[in-house]
Amino acid sequence: MLKGKTALVTGSTSGIGLGIAKVLAGDGANVVLNGFGDHQAIEAMRTDIAQSAGVEVRYSPADMSKPEEIAAMMVEAEEEFGGVDILVNNAGIQHVAPVHEFPPEKWDAIIAINLSSSFHTVRAALPTMIGKGWGRIISIASAHALVASPYKSAYVTAKHGLAGFTKVVAMEVATAGITVNAIAPGYVWTPLVEKQIPDTMKARGLTEEEVKRDVLLAAQPTKEFVTIEQLAALALFLTTDAASAITGAVLPVDGGWTAQ
């Protein structure tokens, strides 16, 4: 049970992050939600999670591409809850284009949000975790932390970097009661995947069905999308004492994709 603990999940107004935030709240953790979206819809999510789980839920609109906003979010969590016990680095974006046509501003945004934001959250969260002698850091990487696909240069670079960062931090805090891991999902049906279908259709000259079958699920031997619930269940397991020997790991949940 996570009663009395606080989880901060970046990018938790949608998709995988929202699913993880709900499951951690369901196990008793207070939660800090973060991400973009319609204010009323986010407020409805916040109150719904708080009421159904009986925990405190706050929301930070901090932009994960802006280190100063990340720092302010972490200070607020410290003041509100006495620190973050479970940090889930999940916010991420995608852009699909050949490298010679890749817009430099998209490259910079993907590196900032999908990689550097984790450095900024981790550096702010660690001192309190070390002081308490307990912490869990879970980063949502990707199968693209382990293998590449064409037209995703910034994303693959950022996710490989996140895997490396995970291993380094795990080693630095291994004796402090803190585990640091990455989850590497294959394709999960979320708005992030839905949004990249038109660009992939354009980049490869394919129909929507062909993109799903021949590009997305072509990589996954199970031929099924991974579910948000499966990822949230693993994230919850990583918070338990039973998982305290798992650290520095990049754990694939990818229907066999990276086994090939």
- CB contact at 8 A, 184 and 145: yes
Q: Using the 8-state DSSP alphabet, how is residue 101 labeled? A: G
Pick the piece of the chain touching ligand NAD (CB under 6 A) from 21-29, 72-80, 187-195, 232-240.
187-195
CB of 231 to ligand NAD, least distance (A): 8
Q: Which residues are catalytic?
A: 155
- CB contact at 8 A, 180 and 170: yes
- CB closer to ligand NAD, 126 vs 182: 182
Each residue 40-79 as x (binds ligand NAD by CB under 6 A) or -, in order, gives: -----------------------xxx--------------
Answer yes or no whether residue 182 interacts with ligand NAD by CB under 6 A.
no
- CB closer to ligand NAD, 91 vs 170: 91
Residue 179, CA distances (Å) to 24, 136, 212, 231, 232 in order: 16, 5, 35, 17, 17
Each residue 102-141 as x (binds ligand NAD by CB under 6 A) or -, in order, gives: -----------xx-------------------------x-
Distance CA 118, CA 74 (A): 12
- CB closer to ligand NAD, 73 vs 178: 73
Answer yes or no whether residue 90 interacts with ligand NAD by CB under 6 A.
yes
Q: Which helix (H) or strand (E) holds 182?
A: strand 178-185
Distance CA 145, CA 157 (A): 8
Distance CA 103, CA 105 (A): 5
Interface pick for ligand NAD out of 3, 36, 52, 174 (rule CB under 6 A): 36
- CB closer to ligand NAD, 104 vs 191: 191
CB of 167 to ligand NAD, least distance (A): 18
Answer yes or no whether residue 237 interacts with ligand NAD by CB under 6 A.
no
Distance CA 6, CA 56 (A): 9
Residue 96, CA distances (Å) to 19, 90, 151, 226 in order: 25, 19, 5, 21
What is the crossing angle of helices 117-132 and 67-81, to 10°? 20
- CB closer to ligand NAD, 73 vs 126: 73
Residue for token pair 């969260």: 125
Applying CB under 6 A, the residues found at the interface with ligand NAD are: 11-17, 34-37, 63-65, 90-93, 113-114, 140, 142, 185, 187-188, 190-193
